[in-house]
Amino acid sequence: MTRSARAVWFTGPGKSEIRLTGVPDPGPDDVLVRTLFSGVSRGTEALVLHGGVPENQHAVMRAPFQEGDFPWPVKYGYLNVGVVEQGPSHLRGRPVFCLYPHQTHYVVPASAVTPVPQTVPPERAVLAGTVETAVNALWDARPLVGDRVAVVGGGMVGCAVAALLARFPGVDLQLIDTDEERASTAAALDVDFATPADARRDLDLVVHASASEAGLDTALNLLAREGTVVELSWYGSRRVAVPLGEHFHSRRLTVRASQVGTVARPDRTFAERMALALDLLADDRFDALISGESGFAELPDVLTRLPALCHRVRYGADA
């Protein structure tokens, strides 16, 4: 080990700390990355922080460069943007995105990083993993021109899905949330907002991302005959009641799972999906998904009181 770095570890229910960790010398096919920004994926990281990953999902839920095992201690995270300090010449000095936890420096295979396009500010590129999830969801949902669509749940993933759906021609779209403060986020994304009570009904497609039983109930009740709910929420170890009575069968409704761990198109690779997500982030409307920023040293405290959208972590020379 030729150098050390600082990394955030989840150490117990709601607890985390910064620890020193060794960083190896990069091999000929590796890159050494100095982190510029990381992002906290509130829903998943909160579940991990509080021990909500079911035992039978421990292997499935491992982050690509996770250290430790669930429930704790574990080094977890997957929204990291840094600059390549050592590595192949075509990457050296370039900002890159990597599915890496919150750590000041790290070494990974060069194939594990994706260059950030010049059209995308590095501070916005921390959203790439979230936009990748949204891309995969829409590949599963397959919206059509003229569809009546809603996104239920105005958190980080729901807003990313809404931002992409807003580009579809002829789509009649609403972002639905119980928190009326989400109206300002929807406006920044050029998307109509509604509470569940005021939402339009008889929809062709609903993307559900509220991670709540009430939200799933709302999503199903908004559908027209033959309509589909694409379920993006991950509930961890919680049991969720799905309303399969009433009009579920008479309207021939569908609930379809979508999860970013599988590429929803057989003609695309993980690398191609990530590159597409980064290209889409050239749209400055995505800045509305960043709801706070702090320095790396503050992260253990910030993790105890996360906002609903993406919290960006800033790394400086003293990190």
Residue 77 has pLDDT above 60, yes or no: yes
Q: What are phi and psi of 176, to 5 degrees?
A: -120, 130
Structural domain contains residue 101:
yes
* 81 and 182 belong to one structural domain: no
Structural domain contains residue 48:
yes
Q: What CATH number has the domain bearing residue 134?
A: 3.40.50.720
| Sign of the four-CA dihedral 100, 287, 165, 111 | negative
The model's pLDDT over 203-218, given as tens digits with 9 standing for 90+, comes to 999 999 999 999 999 9
Structural domain contains residue 319:
no
The model's pLDDT over 239-279, given as tens digits with 9 standing for 90+, comes to 888 888 888 999 999 999 999 999 999 999 999 999 999 99
The count of structural domains within the chain is 2
Residue ranges making up the domain that contains 70: 3-124+281-314
* 70 and 150 belong to one structural domain: no
* 147 and 83 belong to one structural domain: no
Structural domain contains residue 265:
no
* 76 and 183 belong to one structural domain: no
Closest CA to 179 of 205, 209, 155: 155
Q: What CATH number has the domain bearing residue 75?
A: 3.90.180.10
Structural domain contains residue 273:
no
CB of 35 closer than 8 Å to CB of 104: yes
Q: What is the C-alpha to C-alpha distance for residues 229 and 209, in angstroms, rounded to an integer?
A: 10
The model's pLDDT over 131-174, given as tens digits with 9 standing for 90+, comes to 999 999 999 999 999 999 999 999 999 999 999 999 999 999 99
Q: How many CB atoms lie within 10 A of CB 7?
A: 23
Q: Which residue has the higher pLDDT, 281 or 44?
A: 281
288-308 mean pLDDT: 92
Q: What is the C-alpha to C-alpha distance for residues 224 and 232, in angstroms, rounded to an integer?
A: 20
